[in-house]
Amino acid sequence: MTPTLILALGNPLRGDDGIGSAALQALKERALGPHVELIDGGTAGLETALLLEGRSRVIIVDAADFAAKPGSILKRDLTARELELRPVHSDSLHAAGLLDALALAAALGTFPARVTLYGVQPLSLDYETGLSAEARAAIPVLVDSIILALDEATD
């Protein structure tokens, strides 16, 4: 079976947008076994759609602005249907992002059975390296929550 993909996204040069890559580092220190694959997708392009092909379970970790307290964690399942219905964000595709890639996978019929987004509310997305204390504090909770979800999935 194709391993579950944990896909971290974001740009570590933009402050808390580095949360995905920091969480991925923390996940690497926990023995997750051969059924989990970790990929740092950086600033995702359309080819991200190819990473989803043949998978039944994908977990995406990224900074997400959902107007909450910095460091808050959002967990949400994404469906192929809502992505297909969503208006195309960037018609240029020269700078396509995650949602465009997911919508493309949905249209291609390769959208995995379960895709879960873990979003962390950023404090700052300034041009700087390193996370805010709030985002840093979210990492252990985030990692535990992802590992718990993985255990549920394999049960």
Partner 1 sequence: MSVALRRLVVSNLQVNLHHVTRVEGHGNIVIDVKGGRLDTCRFDVVETPRFFEAMLRGRPYQDASHITSRICGICAVGHATTSLRATENALGIVPSEQTVLLRKLNFFGEILDSHVLHVMMLVAPDLLGVGSVIPLARTAPTVVGRALRMKKLAGDLCRAICGRHTHPLSLTVGGFAHFPTLDELSDLRARLEAMRGDIDDTVELLSSLTFPEFERDTEYIALYKPDEYAFIDGDLRSSDGGTWPATEYRQITNEHVVAHSSAKHTSHNRDSYMVGALARFNLNHEQLCPAATLAAQALGLKPKCTNPYFNTVAQLVEIVHAAHESIWLIDSLLARGIQIEEPVRPKQLSGEGVGVCEVPRGTLFHRYIIENGSIVAADCVIPTGQNLANIEADMRALVPEILELPREDIVLKLEMLVRAYDPCISCSTHLVDVKFLE
Q: Which of 49, 35, 53, 113 is nearest to 81 (CA)?
A: 113
Q: Which amino acid, 134? A: E
**Bridge partners for 91 per DSSP:** none
Place of tokens 């997750």: 32
φ, ψ for residue 63, nearest 5 deg: -75, 145
Binding residue for partner 1 (CB under 8 A) from 8, 22, 80, 100? 100
Is 30 within 8 Å of 87 (Cβ atoms)? no
| 92 contacts partner 1 (rule: CB under 8 A) | yes
Give the count of residues interacting with partner 1 (CB under 8 A): 40
Binding residue for partner 1 (CB under 8 A) from 68, 93, 133, 148? 93
Q: Which stretch binds partner 1 (CB under 8 A): 30-38, 115-123, 132-140, 147-155?
A: 115-123
Q: Which stretch binds partner 1 (CB under 8 A): 28-36, 106-114, 128-136, 145-153?
A: 106-114
| 91 contacts partner 1 (rule: CB under 8 A) | yes
Q: Which of 38, 41, 39, 42 is nearest to 12 (CA)?
A: 42
Q: Which of 76, 21, 27 is nearest to 44 (CA)?
A: 21
Binding site for partner 1 (CB under 8 A): 9-11, 14, 17, 43-44, 46-47, 49-50, 62-66, 84, 86-95, 97-100, 103-104, 107-109, 117, 119, 122, 125
